[in-house]
Structures are given as structure tokens and as C-alpha cells.
Amino acid sequence: MTDTSTRIREFRMPDVGEGLTEAEILKWYVRPGDTVADGQVVCEVETAKAAVELPIPYDGAVHELRFEEGVTVDVGQVIITVDTDPSAGPVGSPAKVVDAATAAGAADTAGSVDTAGADTDADEAEDGPEGGKRQPVLVGYGVSASSTKRRPRKQRPGELNGRAEAPVPEPAPVPEPEPAPVPASPNGAGRPLAKPPVRKLAKDLGIDLATVTPTGADGVITRDDVHAAVAREPAPAAEAAGRTEPVAGRTAPAVRPASGDAARETRIPVKGVRKATAAAMVSSAFTAPHVTEFVTVDVTRTMRLVRELKEDPDLAGLRINPLLLVAKAFLVAIRRNPEVNAAWDEENQEIVQKGYVNLGIAAATPRGLIVPNIKDAGARTLPELATALGDLVATAREGRTSPADMQGGTVTITNVGVFGVDTGTPILNPGESAILAFGQVREQPWVHKGKVKPRHVTTLALSFDHRLVDGALGSRVLADIAAVLERPRRLITWS
């Protein structure tokens, strides 16, 4: 709550998952002035795990939206404020909204701004001293060190951001076909003007802000400026030196080498689900020693059973497919070999045996790969497993999978067969012991009862953590899965 009024309540970006540090605002459902009620959804954000809708915990009217759509916000930052008593009249001025143009203008014209505070944290800048009045702040540039109000004045020649500069001899004119854009000039602290989200974007794309031409008011660099710098081929160092005076004792900013193919390349910021997936895969691949084993199996009887189950009136409306029976076979194999369902505790140097199976299903979504899991899958009947699997797939396709649905998995299945692929070497989901790849079911020649006949055949691949699972145990698990799919009656006899 700010000191502007006890009526204004702040809502900060929550940690909607386990240990998440940031989230991107995908969409605002409200605008300043809109009436909101406790529990009403005001925005949708995308975390490293899923898209989540955030409800507001206050009644009142929207006072401020602190960030625009598409901006990545750290957990704990204020994203919206609510006037809890709008009938009492207006509070504050619209100028209090943190805006790049207006706040940057105030920073340039206020002579008491200390540029040494450029790295001041946004939340600390907004809170201010206890009992003090909230000041308009450009996030990331700190607040005025003095509460004394000064009349804005125009910048005189020879001054940079309101500070006098030593006279510099005018360089000899260089003939040019046409003037080129001038990169952002450094301010008094040698730091170009830009909001923290824009700085993060530039860092992710490998852009030095000192080389970016600002188009925002009062020399503020915008997101569009950064994207334009990515698309634009960097100017030669000599050409840049002819347009700006170097600061004594400072090394020129590094410039990425020009590439003739740059115009045909597209750079996509790594964030959200893609960023989390990349980190998880790197961590898993270089932490858990992977071993992958393969088996090719005749699944003709399983495919026949799938057709029969689809016609069973007791299963009407359920999602019946080969993946359902593969999942059931995997669960039977784990029941016969419970040691495979475990986790490695590096900190305590212990192996944690799991008395439950949370079965993960790898799902490709527009936002990237996610692995939601079916809780206590081993205790579910076939109809219950079919219902859970159908709900999981539908929720993932709609982009509504919750973070809780992707936590606590013990083993995973990835169905690469839907892409026409025979098999692969899947990487373990972090914290899990095994992952099964189910390849495409193909009709091909196969020796059956001493004769070559056309049969439905697939290839299975099982990757496992060799710290937990030795070769013999992994082989038994894979062999049991294959045996069930070859003769699905074992779903009954082995259960």
C-alpha cells in the first residue's frame, strides 16, 4: 500500500508455481477506471510452466496498470493498483502512472536527480522513506535525492542531461550521402535510458543499448528500437566513431560482427515454457547418467483390443487409443519392478523409493513442450485412466494446464509415434527415474507362428537414470512392457 492514500491497494506478481521468479503478462482483462470485485480475474500471465489467470483480492476500481502486455515481470513487483473507495472522489493524478515518456522527461529536466542511483530497485524506489510521499519514478532510474521541487529548465548547448560538459573541439566534417541514425548518447552515469523489461530484452538478444538509436520521448529506448537494432546490420566501428565523441578512459562498446545473412535471420527471445524446457533438459542431460534400451514388439493383439474397447458400451465417450494401453502396460511393469519408481536425492545422498506413480505424458503445445502428470495413475482402473488421460490432453491443448499438474511426476511417456517416428532416445524429465518413448505402429512383415505374416509392429525405447536403475532392472521393465503389449491378457493375469 502506498502513502498516497490508504484507499490504494497494490497487487504484486505472485509466485503462481513452485519457485518461479518471473512471468510474462499475456493479456489484461481490465483497464484503469473499471470496477473490479474480490476474486475477479484481471489478467493472464505465462510462467515458465503454464498460462495462469490472476484474480484480484480487492473490491474497487482499477487505478493503475503498471506494465503493458508482453512485458516480463519479476515475482513481487506491483502490477496493478486498486482504489478501494472510488466513491470518495479521485485520488492521485494519472501522471503517477509509471510511463516511459513522462517519467523520462522528468528525469532529464529535474536537476536534482542523481544518476548514480540508476540501478535502484523498482520496489524500493516506489516505497520511499516511511511516511514520505510517493514520487513519480521511471522504473530502474531511482528517485530524486531531494524533495525540493525545481522548475524544469531547457537544456543549454554544451550540456548532457542537464549537466555541463567541457568544450569539445568540433570534428572535421565528414562527407556522407545521408545522415545515419545516432545511437543513444550516454547520460551522466554512462547508462542509456530504458525500462528494465527493455534492458532484459536487449540482454537476451545480445544487443548493447549504447548502440541502439532511441525513438522514445526524451531519448528513451523502446522495445521496437531494440528489435530494429537486431534487424539492422551493425554499422562499421569507424563510421560510428565519426558520429559520437568517445568518453575518455572508457572502452568502446562491443559490436557484433556484421553478417551478410542477418537480414534473413529471425531472433526469437527465449522465455516462458521454452526457457524452462531448455534449462530442464540441460540440467537432466548433464546430471543424470542416461541409458536407453530398445525393443521391437508385435502389438497386433493390442491393436485388436483397442478396436474392441472402442465398441464397448461401458466405455462409450472415453478416449480409447493405443497410448492408453501402453500407459497401462508401463504401470503393470512398474508394479512388478517397484525399484524403478524412485528418485535420486543428491543433497542427502539417498535413493527415494516412491510408493505411488504419477505418470507424466509429454505434450507438444503452441507454447512448447510440457509434461503434466496423472496423479496416482497406478491406482486407477482402465476407465479412470482413460478419463484422466483425455482430460490431460484436452487441458494441455487449450493451454490451461496448471503448474500443480506438472509437479511431482515419477515416470513419463512420450508418444513420438504420432509424428511418424519409429523411436528416439528421450531425455529424462528432471527428478524422474525413467521415460518411455512409444513409436509409430506400422504394418510390416513379421514371423508369427513360423510364418511370415503382415503384423502391427512398434519400437519402444526406455531411458533411465543409471544411478538408480542398473541394466538388469531397466531391461526387465522394458521386457515386461513389451510382453503386455504382445499379449494384452497379461493386463489381467499380471495385475
Between the CA of residue 118 and those of 76, 139, 169, 196, 221, what are the distances in Å?
A: 20, 9, 30, 11, 15
SS (HEC) of the chain: CCCCCCCEEEEECCCCCCCCCEEEEEEECCCCCCEECCCCEEEEEECCCCEEEEECCCCEEEEEECCCCCCEEECCCEEEEEECCHHHCCCCCHHHCCCHHHHHHHHHHCCCCCHHHCCCCHHHHHHCCCCCCCCCCCCCCCCCCCCCCCCCCCCCCCEECCEECCCCCCCCCCCCCCCCCCCCCCCCCCCCCECHHHHHHHHHHCCCHHHCCCCCHHHCECHHHHHHHHHCCCCCHHHHHCCCCCCCCCCCCCCCCCCCCHHHCCCCCCCHHHHHHHHHHHHHHCCCCEEEEEEEEECHHHHHHHHHHHCCHHHCCCCCCHHHHHHHHHHHHHHHCHHHCEEEECCCCEEEECCCCCEEECEEECCEEECCEECCHHHCCHHHHHHHHHHHHHHHHCCCCCHHHHCCCCEEEECHHHHCCCCCCCCCCCCCCEEEEECCCEEEEEEECCEEEEEEEEEEEEEEECCCCCHHHHHHHHHHHHHHHHCCCHHHHCC
- 125 touches 107 (CB < 8 A): no
- CA dist 141 and 198 (Å) reads 13
Active site residue 466: yes
For residues 112 and 146, the answer to whether their CB atoms sit within 8 Å is yes
Q: Give bridge partners of residue 378 from the DSSP assignment.
A: none
Q: Which residues pair with 364 in a beta bridge?
A: 369
Which one from 63, 227, 290, 466 is the annotated catalytic residue? 466
Cα atoms in the Cβ-side hemisphere of radius 13 Å centred on 370: 28
Residues labelled as active-site residues: 466
